[in-house]
Amino acid sequence: MQSGTERHIKQDVRVSFQYPVSFTSDLFHPDNSVLRDTVALGHERAWASKLFAVIDGGVAKHRPDLGAQIESYCRRFPDALQLVSPPLVVVGGEGVKNDPAYVAAVHDAINEFRIDRHSYVIAVGGGAVLDMVGYATGTAHRGVRLIRVPTTVLSQNDSGIGVKNSVNAYGKKNFLGTFAPPFAVLNDATFLTTLDDRDWRSGISEAIKVALLKDPEFFGFIEQHATALVSRDMPTMEWLVYRCAELHLEHIATSGDPFEMGSSRPLDFGHWSAHKLEQLSGYALRHGEAVSIGLALDSTYAHRVGMLSAREWQRVINVLLALDLPIFTSELEQHLNAPNDSRSVLSGLAEFREHLGGELTIMLLNGIGSGIEVHEMDLEHVRASVDILKRYG
């Protein structure tokens, strides 16, 4: 045998994955078998699976009985579910992604209660809690099964239904994370009733985003039902959440890049500035509110550089205002002449590129329902767009 011969093995491994995204109400009511049936799906033969539950503190505040309800639900289906301990309640909101102690607490429980790759963690909460628990379950045993129960508009129509999870580190949002599809997502509309108005409204911006990129008819629906949405009409919100989730899932399934190996992230329209603004505001701005400002900024920019007509630009601004969503914040203005200063929103462009790797790729609009990618932004036009929004906002 000759030594020193170069050899190369190439392989093409194709992996497909499925997870159900169900829409229900009163998920933990003893007559609702959706959770039981979902868990039973995971096994060839019936046995009781271990289940460990994590609850968002913001949800627990409005539903102090929720832990007990989950316990009695599991007792109702002893053939399928074995709750290993009382649920763990964690703080809700971005704080849960900023403090590594929460990830450690979930890891500790997975270890202590011997949650294995055929057991389940169920996370009930907003996007932040789901992101944190998803990171913990995605890394323990290289991935244990996660059932997500999103409880905010944003998490039911966007963040909780996809394949990503993360926590913040080094002052950067979503610096640590994995791509890990959930075992299932169970959307329960009744949770939305206890949201405060800010959280009810802010997730609508993700629906506007995906409508602007992919579905002009859906954009028209949001325009026509803005008043109903602001006045918290439940059937209208349920349809908005369902259609938005469907468009996001269609994208994940058909874009050809579910794990974002390329340099572009087509659904992140408006997000280069949104992520930066969240950070600059010390997370006082909600993700959805920051996205609303980001959509306003990039639409104004697209109009200024001649991509988007005045009429279409006005429709975008009008729908955001009709929904009482913000289109301006003072953080937009700070250090605007110092694009490399980390206190300037403009530094968000470089951070956005770095997070994805490869070439800067920003999604803009060239019509309602039609996105277009660009690889550079003219900073003078961004500054002028900020000025325009300041006058409006």
Binding residues for ligand NAD, rule: CB under 6 A, are: 56-59, 62, 92-94, 97, 125-129, 131, 151-152, 154-155, 158-159, 162, 164-165, 191, 194-195, 199, 203, 286-288
123 dihedral zone (left: phi>0; alpha: psi -120 to 50; beta) = beta
Residue 67 or 125: which CB sits closer to ligand NAD? 125
Closest CB 242 distance from ligand NAD, rounded Å: 17
Distances (CA, A) of 67 to 18, 83, 87, 320: 29, 11, 6, 37
Residue 145 or 148: which CB sits closer to ligand NAD? 148
**Residue 215 main-chain phi, psi, to 5 deg:** -150, 90
Closest CB 191 distance from ligand NAD, rounded Å: 4
Closest CB 139 distance from ligand NAD, rounded Å: 15
Which pair of structure tokens corresponds to residue 255? 């874009």
Q: Give the integer Cα–Cα distance in Å for 253 and 30.
A: 33
Residue 97 or 145: which CB sits closer to ligand NAD? 97
Closest CB 124 distance from ligand NAD, rounded Å: 8
Place of tokens 């900073």: 379
Closest CB 166 distance from ligand NAD, rounded Å: 6
Cα torsion angle, 351, 356, 362, 365, sign: negative
Which pair of structure tokens corresponds to residue 71? 């316990």
Residue 199 or 298: which CB sits closer to ligand NAD? 199
Closest CB 258 distance from ligand NAD, rounded Å: 12
Contact 266, 213 (CB under 8 A): yes
DSSP string, 328-363: --GGGTTTTT-TTSTTSTTHHHHHHHHHH-SS--EE
Residue 132 or 368: which CB sits closer to ligand NAD? 132
Residue ranges in 43-99 assigned as alpha helix (H):
57-62, 66-76, 95-98
Closest CB 151 distance from ligand NAD, rounded Å: 4
DSSP state of 283: T
Tell me the HSE value of 122 on the side-chain side, using a 13 A CA sphere.
28
Q: Indicate the residue type of 33.
A: S
